[in-house]
Amino acid sequence: MSWNIEDARELYGVQRWGNGYFDINSDGDVVVQLRDGDSTVPVSLQKIIEGLADRGSAMPQLLRFRDLLDRRIEDLNESFLTAIKETSYQGSYRGVYPIKVNQQQQVIEEISEFGRKYNYGLEAGSKPELIAALAYMQDPNAYLICNGYKDDEFIDLALRAIQMGIRVIMVLEMPSELPAIIARSRALDIRPELGIRFRLSTKSEGHWAESGGDRSVFGLNSPQLIDAIDLLKSEGFLDCLTLFHYHQGSQLPNIRAIREAATEAVRVFVSLAQEGAPMEILDMGGGLAVDYDGSHSNFASSCNYSLKEYAANLIEVVQQHCDETNIPHPTLVTESGRAVVAYYSVLVFNILDVTRFSQPEEPAAPAKDAHDMLHNLWEIRNRIDRNDLQECFNDALFYRDQVRDLFRHGVIDLRARSAAEKIYWHVCTRIAAKAQLLDHIPEDLQTLQSNLIDFYYANFSVFQSLPDSWAIDQLFPIMPIHKLDTEPTHRAILADITCDCDGKVDRFINRDGTTTYLQVHDRQPGEEYNIAAFLVGAYQETLGDLHNLLGDPHVVSVGIEEGEIIYTHEVEGDSVADVLSYVEYDPKDLEKRFRNFAEKAVSKGKISAKQRKLIVDAYRNGLSGYTYYES
């Protein structure tokens, strides 16, 4: 059966994890669905990359799609508004975006602008985040929720913002914060608006299960909560407490765990209202998951619920328990970050080189005077049969090891060893192909199949652009962005250019779950071959590091107007001088030191003055160059 686009969609699961935003067109290119006026237009990622190349911008590229960010905010808010309407819920919904998920200026600006129609707010967990938020939060009906540690300077800034008409709510993360807030409030004569974060006993699921439960780092336990209520009463500040907050963790895959936590939380919320606090807001924290692997399951990289189901479940739980106790329905807040920005960014990188372990091509027969071990290997190639694959593999492995021993003892030279290895890998490739036809594949042959995976060397840094892939085994959808109208016949691991054994991606999504290799096309030397990692808008830019001094890649926002691709907000990636300055080098001092060294080489007669100029120019150009591979 011939290969077609439907086969590509099925292999890479693009319609399972793409959420309607990504697809493959008839030309075999991955497309992103962008709004152009009142219609949605498929835009080829390969065409975007070609347009950037024409403009002189090198790989890798981080593509941002403003339209997808807007649509995620829209979908989140509309899901809650629909659930509120359908259930006659008497409260409202106010989303806030936690800045820590992606702190880039463009993200905060876009969320503030588009989110205004929904009174969409921000969450700040540090003083720098608060300062950034205050510059963009000018909607008096949106919430600016302050979590994290708060010193006097933080508290004063939040209080002054309240004075200017911004709805700032300081959430108590630990008991010691409350006396400090009360003291600064009295000193400035500004009444605060307060929330309390509570440690739920309900356990969560997924990578961040420890964010909830008794052993979670932040939040007050039951005795501390009662102590805080008593202090607020005694100090005359109970009327300032309007918000109750809990946080289960990030990427919650199971809706059942979400319902259980919400049930416990609303019970505490009701109890605070019964204590006399004017409770108005129930902040249910983050955790809304992204279906990275497209399995729609309760696996860590997936979720077994839709956005609409998430909203409907939270509304139902809160409504039920408030009605039972005659407590007014609160305004619901979620701090959904990952689910809002994940789709927003796509990392595209090119393949620089390939190391092949599979050898489908016929190797050269050994010369007549070649060592017997090479002829023995060649003889195995001629007798491979389904009935004795294990024996053929055992023999090939034995003769290959014998050849290596002969080389170590100086009996054969490197050319002979190389010829033997080519024959060995060709034999293994044929054995593995025939093993696929067996009803039961022996363990050794299963291991052999995993060893016949090629290395595709990719022009990016895992540690800079996909740190969660390395740190917590996060799955990201990864696939070629072109040539998908032809069948990908090779299996590969992606190795980055960091010269680190951990600098690779070796877990991928496939139709059956996950696999240790990516199906790729045969890439010949010098041929353009581009691959993309999707759903990288959450945390990856924030957590990326400078391993091997590989800095931020080029960034560009992409949209479409009247059928034409529009490039905006272009941000050049880090230069070599940039990353060196991050680790306390002075580029000017480096150049001076190198120039002096070159002058000494001139004085010693090692190079001429003209050669010195060329060498120093090359050094200077290197400082100003991109940290990634430039052709």
Known catalytic residue: 501?
A: no
Classify each residue of 526-537 as buried b or exposed e, where b means 16 or more C-beta atoms within 10 Å of its C-beta: eeebbbbbbbbb
**How would you write 54-87 as a 3-class SS string?**
HCCCCCCEEEECHHHHHHHHHHHHHHHHHHHHHH
Q: Is 311 exposed, middle or buried (0-12, 13-18, 19+ CB in 10 A)?
A: buried
Q: Which of 146, 240, 303, 499 is catalytic?
A: 499
Place of tokens 């620089």: 352
- The SS3 of residue 332 is strand
- The SS3 of residue 470 is helix
Rounded to an integer, what distance in angstroms lies between the CA atom of residue 108 and that of residue 118?
15
CA torsion, points 63, 66, 69, 71, in degrees to nearest 10?
Answer: -130
CB 611 within 8 Å of CB 593: no
CB 297 within 8 Å of CB 346: no
Of all helices (H) and strands (E), which one includes residue 154?
helix 152-163
Q: Give the Cβ contact number of residue 313 at 10 Å.
A: 17
- The SS3 of residue 219 is coil
β-strand partners of 39: 36
Alpha helices in 289-351 (DSSP H): 307-325, 338-341
Peptide bond into 60 cis (omega under 30): yes
Report, as residue numbers or ranges, the catalytic residues: 499
